[in-house]
């Protein structure tokens, strides 16, 4: 098969591993920068030009779309779908998962556990908003933030009010969430491929850091999920329509609480923590569907 990895950087760990895993299984692997694709939209003849030449004979696409280029990346994926090419992450699911507020609403509607969350139209009544999520400490997140950037833990009422008012003054959209103290600065990342959890790790924030992102110096170790955690991860990926997903959960007294579902989860942390060949699982997923 001819498989395209949509990635802006061929030297990234995840991109390199997908190419390696695909070539091991005798597929032709191409890395293409989606931001350099031109889309030709025509009745019954959709085309994608890359460096001036049409992309032809592609059997499948693995989108690795960064959050900053979601709009254009999703358009490129949509164009491949119009060309009847199988995509490991569908364009609609990609857009849905990148909209933090929309994805939380979908997950809540499906009956999945979430930290109590508030969103307002730059409300002046900040005090009430904070009380609605259980008071301080609380977590304030930029809707556009990734990898722990734009996430603030406000430890008391005054700090929470000041941070929210500052974001409101900048017209920056934020959500306010209850702080799950018992999680102890740790979370779980379950990696789902084609309706199966292929790996899971527990990420622990470094000392004094409540964010557990590996990009922020957190550590990871393999973990065996409970049935409740595994079911929550699988259901979250399913309701968002994602064939590949990194489901981030907090362990709480109320059971697993989903924080976020990532549509382009990195492979380095999960493969390092679990020792599993996740890239191979993704290639096999494509083989089953094409």
| CATH code, residues 117-179 | 3.30.1490.20
Residue 14 CB burial class (10 angstroms; 0-12, 13-18, ≥19): buried
Fold annotation for 2-96: Rossmann fold (3.40.50)
What distance in Å separates the CA atoms of residue 209 and residue 207, rounded to the nearest whole number? 5
Identify the pLDDT of residue 288: 97
Fold annotation for 99-113+183-289: D-amino Acid Aminotransferase; Chain A, domain 1 (3.30.470)
What residue ranges do the domains of the chain occupy? 2-96, 99-113+183-289, 117-179
Over its length of 290 residues, how does the chain's per-residue pLDDT go in tens digits? 999 999 999 999 999 999 999 999 999 999 999 999 999 999 999 999 999 999 999 999 999 999 889 999 999 999 999 999 999 999 999 999 999 999 999 999 999 999 999 999 999 999 999 999 999 999 999 887 555 568 899 999 999 999 999 999 999 999 999 999 999 889 999 999 999 999 999 998 766 555 555 555 577 899 999 999 999 999 999 999 999 999 999 999 999 999 999 999 999 999 999 999 999 999 999 999 99
Query: Angle formed by the axes of helices 227-239 and 100-109, to 10°?
Result: 120
Identify the pLDDT of residue 289: 97
Q: On the CB side of 216, how many CA atoms lie within 13 Å of its CA?
A: 19
The pairing of strands 86-87 and 60-63 is parallel
Identify the pLDDT of residue 215: 56
Domains 2-96 and 117-179 fall in the same CATH topology: no
Identify the pLDDT of residue 209: 58
Residue 154 CB burial class (10 angstroms; 0-12, 13-18, ≥19): buried
pTM of the model: 0.91
């Amino acid at each position: 098969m001819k498989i395209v990895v949509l990635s802006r950087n061929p030297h990234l760990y995840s991109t390199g591993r997908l190419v390696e895993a695909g070539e091991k299984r005798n597929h032709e692997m191409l890395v293409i920068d989606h931001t350099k694709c031109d889309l030709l939209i025509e009745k019954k003849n959709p085309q994608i030009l890359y460096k001036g030449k049409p992309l032809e004979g592609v059997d499948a696409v693995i989108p690795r779309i960064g959050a900053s280029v979601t709009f254009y990346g999703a358009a490129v994926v949509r164009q491949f779908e119009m060309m009847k090419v199988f995509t490991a992450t569908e364009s609609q699911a990609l857009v849905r998962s990148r909209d933090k507020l929309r994805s939380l609403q979908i997950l809540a509607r499906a009956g999945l556990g979430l930290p109590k969350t508030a969103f307002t139209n730059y409300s002046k009544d900040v005090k009430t908003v904070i009380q609605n999520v259980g008071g301080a400490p609380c977590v304030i997140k930029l809707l556009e933030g990734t990898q722990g950037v734009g996430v603030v833990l406000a430890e008391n009422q005054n700090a929470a009010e000041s941070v929210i008012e500052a974001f409101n003054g900048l017209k920056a959209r934020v959500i306010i969430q209850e702080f799950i103290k018992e999680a102890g600065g740790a979370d779980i990342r379950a990696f789902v491929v084609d309706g199966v959890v292929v790996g899971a790790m527990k990420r622990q924030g470094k000392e004094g850091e409540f964010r557990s992102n590996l990009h922020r110096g957190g550590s990871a170790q393999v973990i065996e999920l409970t049935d409740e955690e595994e079911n929550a991860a699988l259901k979250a990926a399913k309701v968002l329509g994602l064939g590949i997903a990194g489901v981030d959960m907090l362990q709480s007294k109320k059971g697993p609480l989903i924080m976020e579902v990532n549509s382009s989860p990195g492979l380095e942390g999960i493969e390092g923590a679990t020792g599993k060949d996740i890239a191979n699982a993704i290639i096999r997923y494509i083989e089953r569907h094409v």
